[in-house]
Structure 1
Amino acid sequence: MSKLILLDVDGTLINYEAILPESAEKAVNLARSKGNLVYICTGCSKAEIAQRDFRTMQLDGMIGANGGYVESEGKVILHQSLSKAEVKHIVDWCNARHIGFYLEANSGMYINDYYLEDGPVAMAKYIAGKGKEIGDISEYKENFGKGYILKHGEDLYRDDVNKVSFVLHSYQDHLDSKEEFPDLIANTWGGKGEEALFGDLGPKGITKKYAVETLLDYLGMDAKDAIAFGDAQIDLSMFECCGYSVAMGNASEPVKQAADYVTDDVDADGLLHAFEHLGLV
Structure 2
Amino acid sequence: MHKKIILIDVDGTLVDYEGKLPKSATKAIREARANGHKVYICTGRSEAEVYDYIWDIGLDGMIGGNGAYVKDGDKVILHKKISKEETKHIVDWLHKRGLEFYLECNSGLYASENFEEKGEVTIREYASRKGKDSSNMTVRDAFPDMIFGADLYREDVNKVSFILSSYQDHLDSIKEFPELKASTWGGAGEIALFGDLGVKNIDKGKAIDVLLEHLGESLENTIAIGDAKVDIPMLEKCNLGIAVASGGDEIKAMADYITDAVNEDGIYKAFKHFSLI
Could you tell me how far 1:56 is from its partner in structure 2? 4.2
Could you tell me how far 1:142 is from its partner in structure 2? 6.4
What one-letter code is carried by the residue in structure 2 that aligns with 1:251? G
User: Residues 99 and 118 of structure 1 are in contact (CA less than 8 Å); yes or no, is this contact kept in structure 2?
Assistant: no
Deviations 1:213-243 (A, max 9, x none): 1001111111111101111101111112100
The SS at the match of 1:245 is strand
Paired with 1:246 and 1:110, the residues of 2 have a C-alpha distance of 33
Deviations 1:132-166 (A, max 9, x none): 212534xx3565564211136xx211000011111
User: Residues 130 and 191 of structure 1 are in contact (CA less than 8 Å); yes or no, is this contact kept in structure 2?
Assistant: no
Normalised TM-score (structure 1): 0.93
Give the equivalent residue in structure 2 for 1:36: 37
Give the equivalent residue in structure 1 for 2:275: 279
User: Residues 127 and 191 of structure 1 are in contact (CA less than 8 Å); yes or no, is this contact kept in structure 2?
Assistant: no
Give the equivalent residue in structure 1 for 2:209: 213
Aligned to 2:251, which of 241, 249, 255?
Answer: 255
Paired with 1:68 and 1:142, the residues of 2 have a C-alpha distance of 26
User: Residues 124 and 135 of structure 2 are in contact (CA less than 8 Å); yes or no, is this contact kept in structure 1?
Assistant: no
User: Residues 125 and 191 of structure 1 are in contact (CA less than 8 Å); yes or no, is this contact kept in structure 2?
Assistant: no
Describe the shift of the 1:255–1:193 C-alpha distance in structure 2 as closer, same or farther (beyond 3 A). Answer: farther
User: Residues 120 and 144 of structure 1 are in contact (CA less than 8 Å); yes or no, is this contact kept in structure 2?
Assistant: no
Tell me if 1:222 matches 2:218: yes
Gaps of at least 5 residues in structure 2 are: none
The SS at the match of 1:54 is helix
Gaps of at least 5 residues in structure 1 are: none
User: Residues 186 and 194 of structure 2 are in contact (CA less than 8 Å); yes or no, is this contact kept in structure 1?
Assistant: yes
Give the equivalent residue in structure 1 for 2:126: 126
Tell me if 1:53 matches 2:53: yes
What one-letter code is carried by the residue in structure 2 that aligns with 1:41? C
Give the equivalent residue in structure 1 for 2:145: 147
Describe the shift of the 1:247–1:218 C-alpha distance in structure 2 as closer, same or farther (beyond 3 A). Answer: same
The SS at the match of 1:67 is coil
Deviations 1:152-206 (A, max 9, x none): 6xx2110000111111121111111111111100111115899511111111111
The SS at the match of 2:62 is strand
Normalised TM-score (structure 2): 0.95
Paired with 2:189 and 2:257, the residues of 1 have a C-alpha distance of 20
What one-letter code is carried by the residue in structure 2 that aligns with 1:224? E
Query: What count of residue pairs does the alignment treat as equivalent?
Result: 276
Paired with 1:129 and 1:145, the residues of 2 have a C-alpha distance of 17
Tell me if 1:66 matches 2:62: no
User: For 1:103-182, what aligned pairs fall within 5 Å after superposition?
Assistant: 103-134=103-134, 136-137=136-137, 140-141=138-139, 143=141, 146-151=144-149, 155-182=151-178
